Structure 1
Amino acid sequence: MNNFILIFFFLALGLILQRVKQFPTNVYKILNKIVIYFCLPAITLYHIPKIRWSSELLFPIGAGWITFLLACIFFHFLGKRLGWSNKLIGCLILTAGLSNSSFLGYPIIEALFGKQGLETAVLVDQPGTFVVVSTLGVFVAAFYSKGSPDTFSIIKKILFFPPFITFVVAILMNVFQYDLDSNIQSALLKIGSFVTPLALLSVGLQLTFDRKSQHWQFLRLGLFFKLILVPFVILVLYVFILKQHSEVIKITLMETAMAPMITGAILASTYGLKPKLSSMMIGFGIPISFVTLAFWYFICSFI
C-alpha cells in the first residue's frame, strides 16, 4: 500500500510543479538521466547475477518483442488500408508497441509482487523492451519518417547505452557465477530504490492533456491496442496456448499491460512522427493504465 501511495504522490507532485512558474519543468531531463545512468544500472547489477536461468525466462524476455511486432503488423496494415500517413503509422507503432516496463513497471511490479518480482520485470525491460526500442524502434522511426535507417547509428546506440552495458556485465557475472561484495550490493539496492520517486516525478512533470487535439480517434485506438489488446494476446498465447501459470507469467502479463513507453514517445517526437499524438499517448495512457492494470491484476488472480 505504501508503494501505491508513493506512485500517486510523486505523479501528483510532478503535475503540481508543472504549474509553479519558478520551477524549471525541463528538470525531468535531468531526472531521466539519473534514472538511466544510475538507478536502472544499479537494479540490473543487483538482480541479474542472482537469476537462475530456465526455459521459463524466455517468456518475459520475448514479451517485449512480441508486443512490438504485433504493433508493426497491426498499425502498418490498418494504416495502409485506411490511407493514414507514414508519420501517423510510425507514431502509433512506437507508442502503442512499447511498454513503460521500467519507469512505471518497476515500482508497480514491486508494489504488487515485492522486490522478488523485480527480477522478472528487469528481464521484460532490459533484453526485452529496451533492446527493442534501441534496434527495431530506431529502425521504425527512421523508416516511417522517410529517412534511411543508419545501421552504424543503431549499433552505437545499443553499445553505448548505460543500462545495456551494465546488462552485458551482469550477464557475464551470472554466467561465471560471480556476485558483488555485500556492501556494494547494499549500495546498489539503495541507489536502485530511487527509481520509483525520480521516475514517477519525471513522468508527472511530462504529463500533458491537450483537449483541443484532432487526434482523439487515434489516441483511443492506440490505447485500446496497448492497454487491452496486447495483454489479451499475451494472456491467450502464454496461458491458454502454451499452458503457463507461474508468477513469472503474471508479472510478464502486467508488464505488457503498462502504459506506453516514454522513450518510444520521445523517439517518435524526435523523428517528427506526430509529436502531439505521442505526447497524448503518454499523458492519457499513464492515468488510464492504472484502471486497466487493476483489471489485469484481477485476471492474474485466476491464472
Structure 2
Amino acid sequence: MDNILLIFLCLLMGLGMQRLAAFPKNGHLALNQFIIYVALPGLALFYIPKITLSSNLLYPLAESWIGFGLSFLFFYTLGKRLGWPNRLIGCLIITAGLGNTSFVGFPIIQALYGEEGLKTAIMVDQPGTFVVMATLGLITAAVFAKGDANPKEIVSKIVLFPPFIAFAIACIMNVMKFDFTDNFQTVFQKLGATVTPVALVSVGLQLKLDKRSQHWKFLRLGLLFKLIITPAIFFLLYKVMLQGKGVIVDVSVMESAMAPMITGAVLASNYGLKPKLSSMMVGIGIPLSFVTLAFWYFILNHF
C-alpha cells in the first residue's frame, strides 16, 4: 500500500508548495512539460515492447476505448444541450473518460486479485488507457481547446506529441519482437516511474477547494459518471449481457471504476481545459474512489 501513501503525500506536498514564496506560482506548468516530454515517453518505451496480445484480452482492451467513447457521448450531448463552453466539455470528457488504471489501479487490483489480476490490469492500462490518452485524449484536447482546430493541425499535434512518438516506436518494436538492452530498459523504467509523483505534485499545486466555486456542480457530475455510471454500464455489458466470467472480466469492471487518470488531468490542464476542475477531479476523485471501489467489489462478489 506504499503507492496509496505516496498519492496522498504528493498531493499534500503540492498543496503545501502553494504557500511557498520560493516556488513559482506557475511551477506546475514546468512539471506538466516534464511529464509530457520525458516521463510518459519513458513509460511507453519500457512497457509496450513487452506486451503480448491475445483474443482472451478483448475485455480489458476494450474497456478504455468504450469508456472514453461513453464519456464523449454523454458530456458532448449534455454540454451542447445546456450551452456549456467547449473547454468545460473537453475537460469533463477527458477527466471522466480516462481512469487511473495504473498507479491507483495496479496496487488495488493486485491486493484483491493477486498476480493474475495484475496481468489483466496491465492490459487495461498500457494498450488501453495510455493509448487512448495519447490519441483520442489528445484529439479531444486539441479540438475543444480552440473549438475550430483544422484536421491538419490536429494530425500535426498528434504526430509531434512526444508520448505518441514514443508509443509508435514502441509498437514497431513490439511487432518486430525487439526490445532495448537491459541498461536502456532500466533508464526508461525509472523515467516512467516519475509520472505519478510529479503529476500528483502538479495536481496539488493547482488544487484549490473554494466552496463558492462554480466547479462543484460539474465536479459532482463528472465523478458520478466516472465512479458510478461508467462501471454500472460495464457491469451490465460484461457480466449481464455478455455473461462474462472469471478474473479477466471482474478486473476489467473494477478498472472501469477507478478514479480519473492523473496524466489525463495534466493533459487537459496543459491545453487550458479548466485546469482547476481537472485538478479537483483527481484530487477529490482518488480518495472518494476507495469507497466506490469497495462497493463495486462487493457487487461483483455477490453477483
Q: TM-score, normalised by structure 2?
A: 0.81
- Asked if the contact 1:48–1:119 (Cα under 8 Å) also holds between the matched residues in 2, the reply is no
Q: Which residue of 2 aligns with 1:47?
A: 47
Please give the alpha-carbon distance, in whole angstroms, between the structure 2 residues aligned to 1:220 and 1:166: 35
Distance 1:256 1:245, change over 3 A: same
Which residue identity is paired with 1:221?
Answer: L
Please give the alpha-carbon distance, in whole angstroms, between the structure 2 residues aligned to 1:212 and 1:185: 48
Offset at 1:26? 2.4
After the TM superposition, which residues 1-303 of structure 1 pair with which residues of structure 2 at under 5 Å, given as runs? Answer: 1-79=1-79, 83-87=82-86, 90-91=89-90, 93-95=92-94, 97-101=96-100, 105-112=101-108, 113=110, 116=119, 117-139=121-143, 141=144, 147-261=147-261, 277-278=277-278, 280-299=280-299
Offset at 1:288? 2.6
Q: Which stretch shifts more, 235-244 or 108-117?
A: 108-117
Report how many aligned residue pairs link the two structures: 295
Please give the alpha-carbon distance, in whole angstroms, between the structure 2 residues aligned to 1:194 and 1:241: 40
SS in 1 for 2:104: helix
Structure 2: gaps (5+ residues)? none
Offset at 1:40? 2.0
Structure 1: gaps (5+ residues)? none
- Asked if the contact 2:17–2:205 (Cα under 8 Å) also holds between the matched residues in 1, the reply is yes
- Asked if the contact 2:199–2:263 (Cα under 8 Å) also holds between the matched residues in 1, the reply is no
Offset at 1:9? 1.3
| Alpha-carbon displacement from aligned partner over 1:89-127 (angstroms, at most 9, x marks no partner) | 7256435542254xxx43213323377544541222232
Distance 1:85 1:10, change over 3 A: closer
Which residue identity is paired with 1:197?
Answer: P
Q: Which stretch shifts more, 267-276 or 30-39?
A: 267-276
Q: Which stretch shifts more, 281-290 or 34-43?
A: 281-290
| Alpha-carbon displacement from aligned partner over 1:55-79 (angstroms, at most 9, x marks no partner) | 2444334333322322333234445
Distance 1:247 1:208, change over 3 A: farther
Please give the alpha-carbon distance, in whole angstroms, between the structure 1 residues aligned to 2:88 and 2:30: 30
Distance 1:272 1:184, change over 3 A: closer
Distance 1:27 1:214, change over 3 A: closer
Offset at 1:177? 0.8
Distance 1:221 1:134, change over 3 A: same
Q: TM-score, normalised by structure 1?
A: 0.81
Which residue identity is paired with 1:106?
Answer: S
Q: Percent identity?
A: 44
Offset at 1:289? 3.0
Please give the alpha-carbon distance, in whole angstroms, between the structure 1 residues aligned to 2:191 and 2:176: 25
Which residue identity is paired with 2:103?
Answer: P
Q: Which stretch shifts more, 200-209 or 286-295?
A: 286-295
Offset at 1:37? 2.1
Please give the alpha-carbon distance, in whole angstroms, between the structure 2 residues aligned to 1:263 and 1:254: 19
Which residue identity is paired with 2:102?
Answer: Y
Q: Which stretch shifts more, 184-193 or 249-258?
A: 249-258
Which residue identity is paired with 2:202?
Answer: S
Which residue identity is paired with 1:63?
Answer: E
